[in-house]
Amino acid sequence: MSSLFAKATGGIGCAVLALPMLAALSIAALPGGPFSGGSAAALPSKQALADIPSYMLALYQRAAPECPGLPWTVLAAIGKVETDHARNPTMISTAGAVGPMQFLPSTFTSYAYPVPPGGKNPPTPWDPVDAAYAAARLLCANGAKNGENLRRAIWHYNHDDAYVNRVLKIADNYAAAAPAPTKAASTAVAFARAQLGTPYVWGGDGPAEGGFDCSGLTQAAYHAAGISIPRVAQDQYDAGPHLPKGTQPAPGDLLFFGTSPSTITHVSLYIGGGQAIDAPHPGAVVRQGPDRTDFPSFQGATRPSLRGNSTR
């Protein structure tokens, strides 16, 4: 395959997949950083494993994808604040909220359907499954979808800023910390950040060609760190090293999207906090937004920084 054709293939891949996925990336202005509460794919911390009953932990993790981009840690933190994960013996508030996630019956009805797998029929706010799914839907309807405005979503759950801060603090503690990035990974992230606003160019490798496509950006980022990776998204995916499924990504990891592991059509660079940088599609610019690891098209991640020591 000629290098020209390889570059063109990478460019086409970025353009085709990114249009439905990444055309509308936005960054919510959240105090304390671009994102809080852990990422959607976060693994449980030791504190989470010790504090959350195993049944409830599995339920939070199962219910969170009802709202794409919602971290399960936020659901868990709300469950902790409201009833200590259903340990409260009465689970009835002075305002009339009931059940493990403390719903007013009238509010619960608005988010109870469709009946979730394993829920009661008709659904009830007293059932943990029904309540967890309804909570995810309420958060989603008020800003949690794709991490657009998580603070606003939690505020709609309880109209109190102190409550929001408490939930986010607990959620952060429930998420296992990602490993510290290597020098090479940090350099790659810094390079990608410096390209924000650079035009997308089909097959582009950098300023000399007017901009980047998705794999051109990630290759250039690791070239800046002294690590050589292949040019197109599929080859970058194949080159690895791959992270085990469910592993919390670390800054510098590459995230891959497509219809299957053998049909990779887009790549982005994870920068931490549930965020990634990519060159999305023609007519756009290099931009930062939610990592999209909760999308069905997400095929996995690699950690190029493990391939060798940086020479820079």
Using one digit for the tens of pLDDT, what is the confidence trace for 111-148? 999 999 999 999 999 999 999 999 999 999 999 987 78
Cα angle 60, 62, 65; round to 5: 100
Instruction: Give the chain's domains with CATH numbers.
Output: 3-26+179-306 (3.90.1720.10), 46-174 (1.10.530.10)
8 Å CB contact between 306 and 188: no
pLDDT of 18 higher than 50: no
Q: Could you give the C-alpha distances from 217 to 211, 226, 241, 289, in angstroms and in order?
A: 9, 14, 19, 16
Q: pTM of the entire structure? A: 0.58
Give the Cα separation of 152 and 298 in Å (integer): 27
pLDDT digits (tens, 9 = 90+) for 165-222: 999 999 999 988 777 788 999 999 999 999 999 999 999 999 889 999 999 999 999 9
